[in-house]
Structure 1
Amino acid sequence: MLDPFRRICAVLFMITVLFSFPAGAAAARPIKIASVGWTGVTVKTDLAVSILKSLGYEAENFLVSVPIAYKAMESGDADAFMGNWLPSQNSICNPYFKNGSVLKYVKNMSGAKYTLAVPTYCAQAGLKDFKDIARFAEKLDWKIYGIEAGNDGNEIVQHMIDKNKFNLGKFTVVPSSEAGMLAQVQSYVRDKKWIVFLGWAPHSMNEKIDMTYLTGSTDETFGSNDGTASVWTNIRKGFDSEYPNAARLLKQMIFTVPMMNQIMLMMKNDDSLTTVKAGLLWLRKHPDMYKKWLEGVKTVSGGPGLPAFEKVLESN
């Protein structure tokens, strides 16, 4: 047993060792990319994780809600988030952008859409605009169907209800998972029942459901351009300086709406395809895309990143 003096010396030695590691030693920590369980965001996140692993990093998909994704990046528990839909998430993300704990970083997809939608037979019967919803309140059972609790879309709808915008003051938001909400919509469609729900593109719902997006959104709701959106990749403060190579990859991972629609359609047509397998299958057929992503990106050991990823791609 060590005497007190030797114990103190041992503790001081351990402290010295711990604080003498070079900054690069932090690279041993897994890179955590927050994801919110939406199919499109999961595809992007799983592809990023797969590529990072092929380069020699430890990486993982960190599944949380949107508000928790930002708290996690602020605290350093998550490094990035590839599902920042704007303008609908402004109220959630802007405080973190303003205090500098999260960087907006790069727009990873343009031409997306996020707003309220209805089955097309409802639109054909007159429910075409936000201002029409209240006219059909009885048919809709005074409900608007959202996704997971705390989601920005739900919050926007709740704000509309609280402020009695479009005379929606007596309506209720029904939260659910993405899969649960879409199952509800499809069930209603089979019975020709009326329903208003959160819809977005890209997503296979646009193929599975004959649906119509409502007009009439404002800057205070889903944006003045009827819900047209851009999706951004955010990173925590300091990530790009601590992991410049990984940050370069994330900055170069730009997606298109047709690409994401095609991946989701593949998953719809083949239930055995996971998000990552469908994404990798699409990339095998479109090498120009991943070659742009990996331009100038290296492995952890300093070698070229492209052949390392292509080796993994061939094996999947």
Structure 2
Amino acid sequence: MAKVRVADIIKQFNLELISGEEGIHRPITTSDISRPGLEMTGFFDYYPADRIQLLGMTEITFSNRLTPEERKSRMENLCSDITPGIVISRGLEIPSELIEASEEHSVPVMRTPMKTTRFSSRLTNYLEYKLAPTTAVHGVLVDVYGVGVLITGKSGVGKSETALELVKRGHRLVADDCVEIVQEEEGSLIGHAPELIEHLLEIRGLGIINVMTLFGAGAVRSHKRITMIANLEIWDQHKQYDRLGLDEEKVKILDTEITKMTVPVRPGRNLAIIIEVAAMNYRLKNMGVNAARQFTDKLADVIEEHEQENNQG
């Protein structure tokens, strides 16, 4: 199923549909936008027909200098079978030859009062977001001290209860149970909740609660960049857990690697506080303060001094 169709951008940007109404359900498959300047001169050898075509003052002014036969030929070539649509900016008058060609080939021709560069920028941003790679993961996404923490783990391990405690401590819920993730650009994952379960938390034994209703609008947010993953797992006494934090585990989501820490769960451990500290520690590491590295460096110095004293003795 196509992610974006011409009808979507008509609605999003309040475009005026001039002609080619039969083609408004054509899919848009790329966020690239074409300014067909060379094509207006008759050069169609490398015409990117699969892009939205944007005609501004330059293209329209040049087309008005063509003979009617030349203009008719250019406009028919613009309206290919795979062209999603043609947008005229600045509210400019549209050549009758373009309207005729668009009706014949069912290519939507739309008009916007916005300036060409401004509309191009806004449309590109919109399409990049809508056409970005997406996935969904089972987990809870919480904004903790500005760090987007994705809490994962097996069903029933306590993800939602931990998120509830974090919300009570002043942090903000983004999504519970299902987190939809969009890779806006390489190295940037944005998580949000499906519309159906936005602001909701499921607590076993209590049921579904509305976090915004209970704690206020400041307890939720619509989306957040995912910075780290906290994976909750039942404590395994036979497993060796990291006690220093020197080696960072990475997990790949789509094409982006995210730092992952494993938090063993057993009675008496306050997971919310652990995740709070992990988020603050992550921020410190980004500022160049690595407590684990400082400790090992000091320990190495102490061992070296001790060895020197023994050698002297």
Task: Name which structure has the greater RCO, CA cutoff 8 Å, separation 6+.
Answer: 1
Structure number with the higher helix fraction is 1
TM-score tier by shorter-chain length is: under 0.3
**Higher Rg:** 2
